[in-house]
Copies of this chain bind each other. A is one copy, B any other.
Amino acid sequence: MTHRRDSYHHGDLRRALIEAGTRLARVGGPEAVLVREVTRQVGVAPNAAYRHFADREALLDAVCSQAQGAVAVAMEAELAKVRAKGDAAGRARARLRAVGIGYLRFAQEEPGLFRTAFSFPADLSRAASPDSAGASGLSPFQLLSSALDDLVDAGVLPRAQRPGAEFLAWSAVHGLATLAVTGPLRALSPRRLRSLANRLLDMVDRGLPATADLHSATRPVR
C-alpha cells in the first residue's frame, strides 16, 4: 500500500510481501502464509515472489523474523514498566519477570504472530536476522539473556549457574505460552491465565537459583 504500483515494477516488493505475509500470519498463523495469497494481496503474479525468496519456506522465515521483532517490542514494553525503586536484586528479579510477562502477554494477544515467531525455521542459522529485534536492537532471546546477566550482577543467581539458564527460564515460559495458545489451556480466561503465569514465574524465580542443599531424592537419571 505504501508502494507505488503505477508501473510494471513494484519498487519494494520484498518488503511488501513480508508485510502482507505478516498480516496473514496475524490472523491465521504460519500455515496461512501462502505464496499465492501473499502475492494476490500485493497485486502481483505468484511467481514474482520467487525473485525475492527461494521458496515459501524462505518467505516464511522472513515473516518469522518480523514476528520475533514484535515479540521483542512487547517484552521491551513490559520492561519499561518496572520502576527503578528497590534494591538491585529486587530490580533484577522484576526485570526477569517483566521479560516473561511480555512474552506471555504477546502470546495471548497475538496468537497467530506468536505461533509464527516460534515455528522455528528449518535452518537454525537464520536466527540472527535484523528484523527479529525490537526497538533496543535486541532479539527476544537476547533480552532474556540480558535480564539473566543482571540477575547475576545483582548477586541473585550464582555465576556458576548462569550458563544455560536462558533455556531453563525460556522453557518454562515458552511451554506455558504454547499450551495457552494452541494447547489445552487455550480455553482459559485471560484472568485465570494471568494467575497461572504469575505462579509459573514464581516457580522460576524460586527454583532457578540452585540452593546449597541438593535434596538427596533427585538423582540424575541414567
- How far, in angstroms, from A124 to B184 measured CA to CA in the complex? 6
- How far, in angstroms, from A217 to B150 measured CA to CA in the complex? 15
* A41 interfacial by beta-carbon distance below 8 Å: no
- Asked whether B218 lies within 8 Å of A202 as measured between CB atoms, the reply is yes
Chain A interfacial residues counted at CB < 8 A: 60
With known contacts A184-B124, A218-B205, A171–B167 Cβ distance under 8 A: no
- How far, in angstroms, from A51 to B184 measured CA to CA in the complex? 29
* A206 interfacial by beta-carbon distance below 8 Å: yes
- How far, in angstroms, from A171 to B198 measured CA to CA in the complex? 13
With known contacts A127-B184, A174-B178, A187-B124, A168–B94 Cβ distance under 8 A: no
A156-168, CB under 8 A of B: which get 1 and which 0?
Answer: 0000000010011
Chain B nearest Cβ from A181, distance in angstroms? 10
- How far, in angstroms, from A168 to B176 measured CA to CA in the complex? 7
Determine the residue in chain B with the shortest Cβ distance to A101: B221
**Total copies of the chain:** 2
Chain B nearest Cβ from A206, distance in angstroms? 4
Which residues of the partner chain B approach A124 to less than 8 Å between Cβ atoms?
A: 184, 186-187
Which residues of the partner chain B approach A194 to less than 8 Å between Cβ atoms?
A: 220-222
Chain B nearest Cβ from A68, distance in angstroms? 12
Chain B nearest Cβ from A74, distance in angstroms? 13
Give the contacting residue for A216; candidates B90, B97, B167; CB below 8 A. Answer: B90
Which residues of the partner chain B approach A201 to less than 8 Å between Cβ atoms?
A: 218
- Asked whether A203 lies within 8 Å of B200 as measured between CB atoms, the reply is no
* A50 interfacial by beta-carbon distance below 8 Å: no
- Asked whether A94 lies within 8 Å of B185 as measured between CB atoms, the reply is no
Chain B nearest Cβ from A115, distance in angstroms? 11
* A93 interfacial by beta-carbon distance below 8 Å: yes
- How far, in angstroms, from A112 to B169 measured CA to CA in the complex? 25
- How far, in angstroms, from A175 to B167 measured CA to CA in the complex? 9
